Each structure stands twice: as C-alpha cells, then as structure tokens.
Amino acid sequence: MKYCFLLLLTFAYISCNVKVDNHNDVIEIIDDFSLLQKRLDSDTSKIWVVNFWATTCPPCIKEMPHFKDLQAQYDTDELKVLLVSLDSPKSHEKRVVPFVKKHNIIPEVTHLTDDNFSAWTDKVDASWFGALPATLIIKGEKRYFKFGMYESKKELEDAVKNVRG
C-alpha cells in the first residue's frame, strides 16, 4: 500500500510538472514582414531555419518531415525551425490551421500575410522571386538561402552545418 501511494504521488508530481509546448494551438498571423524580421534579429546566437511554404505547394508538404526531424534533434535554444505559411489571408482558418492540426506539425508555424512580396523577398535573398518552397538559414551574419525543396534530411542538415560553422 505504501509503495502504491508513493507511486501515485510520484506520477502526480511528474504529470503536473511536464511542460507541453503547444505553440501551434494558436498560429500567429504576421501582416508585415518587418515584424518577422524583427523576431529573427532578436536572437542572433541561435540558428534560425525559416521555411517559406504554402498548403497548396506539394514540394513544400513533401519536405516538411525534414524540418520536424531537424527541430527534434536540436535544443530550441540552439536552433529554431520556423515554418512561415504564405497562404492567402483568407485561408488562415480554412486551410492553414486545419492543415497544421491534421498533420500534427511540430515546428512552430506562423502565417505571413504581407502580400507586398516585391518589398520583402529581396530582404530574404536578392535571388528569390517568391516561388515556393524556399528556406533561409541564418545565425548572426551567416546566411544560407535555398529556393526549392530539400530532398532529404541530410541535405537540410548539411545546409545547417554551413551556417553553424
């Protein structure tokens, strides 16, 4: 009886102290690219893997597991994967939120609705004209940009290593 009580007490303690990160319960809508840029600039000690995608982009969806696996292997203080949906603003509740829930997307998702693409795509990379998928990996002043899909997790890891140093 004494052991059952201790086991029950231990279980209750552990279950009360487990921190569950459900950052995708509410997906932030960012209506101005400068706000996203400000967030990325706020922590230059961390590697940011910023993937621009849309629910209507098959290559974007195909590469998504690589980002989930990458985030799982790093401490979020060292590396942060941020999946930036570029779906239309009216698609937020109809497409983006249901997609993230249905596919149990683990890396944090934000929804960038700034449709003035020509004003901000050059800030991501001068070679980018806005087609998807596209990924920016940054740490401080180090940057790596790729337009197109990551075919494998290893390809994505190699890109991170280039920025990590």
Instruction: State how many domains the chain has.
Output: 1
Residues 71-114 pLDDT 10s: 999 988 899 999 999 999 999 999 999 999 999 999 999 999 99
Output DSSP code: residue 150: -
**What's the predicted TM-score (pTM) here?**
0.85
Residues 20-67 pLDDT 10s: 456 788 899 999 999 999 999 999 999 999 999 999 999 999 999 999
CA-CA-CA-CA torsion sign (130, 81, 107, 64): positive
Tell whether 98 is covered by a domain: yes
Residue-range definition of the domain harbouring residue 132 = 21-164
pLDDT given at position 20: 41
**Which token pair is 117?**
């693409």
pLDDT given at position 38: 95
**In the predicted model, is pLDDT for residue 118 greater than 50?**
yes
The residues that bridge with 48 in the sheet, in sequence order, are: 80, 138
Tell whether 53 is covered by a domain: yes
Bigger pLDDT: 19 or 70? Answer: 70
Reduce the DSSP state of residue 51 to 3 states and report it: strand
Tell whether 6 is covered by a domain: no
Tell whether 117 is covered by a domain: yes
Tell whether 9 is covered by a domain: no
Tell whether 78 is covered by a domain: yes
Sheet strand arrangement including 28-30? 28-30, 108-112, 79-85, 47-53, 134-139, 142-147
Tell whether 101 is covered by a domain: yes
